[in-house]
């Protein structure tokens, strides 16, 4: 993604990985062949591999530079993590840190790390392995977690194996190092940069709003994983804690933001991942920002 500018604030992506991911049926239990066929023509232009029909996903962080602070939004899968349940993410190395440095930022420069939710692919770079221990990657940063999200996962790890590893190696070490701020779901990081509840994908998921110079951008995390969910907001993923609430949150968000010009930055959209919600007849579409 090319650098975006909102007033006096710049936004860049820090890319970890991406590419053809899965066929729609493996991500969206309620999708039908008719829905896929209806949207295939525009999807193969930007976000579906034509030969396989795989949806294209990206795993990326967003870097926000305001005049006062440098903020990292979401932390991807991370390196060296033990993920035996996810072979593609197990003990991996990625170009993510090289991409951060290429953006002119060192780990010491980050003032805030903000996770939209605490899934494994949003907390990875929170920590790194140093001398056999997981320590915060960004030594000067405060880490912003919605308290309700943190409390939910803290309780849930007793029951769900697959999330325990990520919580234990990428969230708890930050809390134990005293670097975490467990905040209300409408917390303001600085003037014009604030959280807003977006429950459904996970119980305490939030989006991050940015307003500067009369323009607005919204970092939506996993409220939607793919542009197919913009015209078809009823489609929740297999990863959603509450698929019904997820669809409700998404539908309301799309209606509220359609034709406003607000820049929308979802975590997993590929390529020119930012864009705008535009109405087309009785539904909405995602218009990728190529500027
Ligand atoms: Zn995700």
What digits encode the pLDDT tens for the residues 214-264?
Answer: 999 999 999 999 999 999 999 999 999 999 999 999 999 999 999 999 999
Cα 109 to ligand 1 centroid, rounded to whole Å: 25
- DSSP codes of every residue in 147-199: HHHHHHHHHHTTT-HHHHHHHHHHTHHHHHTT-EEEE-TT-EEETTEEEEE--
249 domain residue, yes or no: no
Ligand 1 center to 121 CA (angstroms): 5
Tokens found for residue 43: 């999807």
Interval 52-68: pLDDT, tens: 999 999 999 999 999 99
Percent of the chain with pLDDT over 90: 93
How far does the centroid of ligand 1 lie from the alpha carbon of residue 152, in Å?
17
Gap from CA of 282 to ligand 1 centroid (Å):
28
Looking at residue 162, its pLDDT comes to 66
pLDDT tens per residue across span 121-165: 999 999 999 999 999 999 999 999 999 999 999 988 766 766 789
Calculate how far, in angstroms, residue 271's C-alpha sits from the geometric centre of ligand 1: 16
Check residue 291 and give its pLDDT.
Answer: 82
Q: Would the pLDDT of 69 be above 90? A: yes
pLDDT confidence band for 27 (50 / 70 / 90)? very high
Distance 157 CA to ligand 1 centre (A): 18
Assigned domain for 8 exists: yes
Question: How far is the centre of ligand 1, averaged over its atoms, from the C-alpha of 263 (Å)?
Answer: 19
Q: How far is the CA of 137 from the centre of ligand 1 (A)?
A: 20
107 in any annotated domain = yes
Q: Calculate how far, in angstroms, residue 209's C-alpha sits from the geometric centre of ligand 1.
A: 18
Instruction: Determine, yes or no, domain membership for 233.
Output: no
> Ligand 1 centre and the CA of 56: distance in Å?
13
* Residue 290 domain-assigned (yes or no): no
- The range of the structural domain enclosing residue 26 comes to 4-219
pLDDT of residue 272: 87
Q: Write down how long the chain is.
A: 291
Compute, in angstroms, the gap from residue 16 CA to the centroid of ligand 1. 12
For residue 125, the CA-to-ligand 1 centroid distance in Å is: 14
Q: How far apart are CA 159 and CA 140, in angstroms?
A: 33
- Is 205 contained in some domain? yes
Domain count for the chain, please give it: 1
Q: Please give the Cα distance from 127 to 70 (Å, whole number).
A: 18
**Could you tell me the pLDDT band of residue 168, with boundaries at 50, 70 and 90?**
very high
Three-state SS string across 39-52, please?
Answer: HHHHHHHHCECCCC
CATH code, domain carrying 25: 3.60.15.10
Whether residue 270 lies inside any domain: the answer is no
Averaged pLDDT, 65-77: 98
pLDDT at 155: 86
Return the percentage of the chain with pLDDT > 70, whole number: 98
pLDDT at 271 over 90: no
Distance 249 CA to ligand 1 centre (A): 16
Q: How far is the CA of 225 from the centre of ligand 1 (A)?
A: 7
Is residue 244 situated within a structural domain?
Answer: no
Q: Which two tokens stand for residue 176?
A: 């134990």
102 Cα–ligand 1 center, Å: 24
Q: How far, in Å, from the CA of 221 to the mean position of ligand 1?
A: 7
Predicted pLDDT at 184? 98
Contact 222, 119 (CB under 8 A): yes
Pairing of strands 275-280, 283-288: antiparallel
Q: 85-123: per-residue pLDDT in tens?
A: 889 999 999 999 999 999 999 999 999 999 999 999 999
What pLDDT is attached to residue 161?
67
């Amino acid at each position: 993604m090319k650098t975006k500018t909102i007033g006096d604030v710049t936004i860049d992506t820090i890319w970890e990985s991406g590419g053809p991911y899965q066929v729609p049926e493996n991500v969206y239990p309620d999708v039908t062949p008719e829905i896929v066929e209806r949207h295939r023509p525009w999807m193969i232009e930007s976000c579906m591999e034509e030969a396989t029909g795989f949806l294209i996903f990206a795993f990326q962080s967003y870097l926000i530079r305001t005049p006062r602070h440098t903020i990292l939004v979401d932390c991807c899968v991370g390196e060296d993590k033990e993920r035996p349940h996810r072979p593609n993410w197990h003990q991996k190395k990625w170009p993510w840190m090289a991409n951060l440095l290429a953006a002119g930022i060192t780990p010491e420069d980050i003032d805030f790390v903000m996770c939209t939710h605490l899934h494994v692919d949003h907390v990875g770079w929170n920590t790194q392995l140093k001398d056999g221990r997981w320590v915060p990657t960004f030594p000067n940063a405060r880490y912003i977690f919605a308290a309700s999200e943190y409390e939910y996962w803290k309780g849930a790890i007793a029951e769900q194996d697959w999330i325990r590893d990520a919580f234990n190696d990428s969230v708890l070490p930050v809390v134990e190092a005293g670097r975490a701020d467990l905040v209300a779901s409408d917390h303001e990081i600085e003037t014009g940069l604030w959280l807003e509840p977006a429950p459904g994908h996970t119980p305490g998921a939030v989006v991050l709003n940015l307003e500067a110079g009369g323009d607005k951008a919204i970092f939506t995390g996993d409220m939607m994983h793919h542009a197919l969910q913009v015209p078809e907001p009823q489609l929740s993923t297999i990863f959603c804690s509450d698929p019904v609430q997820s669809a409700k949150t998404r539908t309301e968000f799309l209606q509220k933001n359609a034709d406003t010009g607000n820049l929308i930055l979802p975590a997993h959209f590929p390529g020119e991942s930012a864009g705008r919600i535009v109405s087309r007849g009785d539904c909405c579409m995602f218009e990728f920002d190529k500027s």
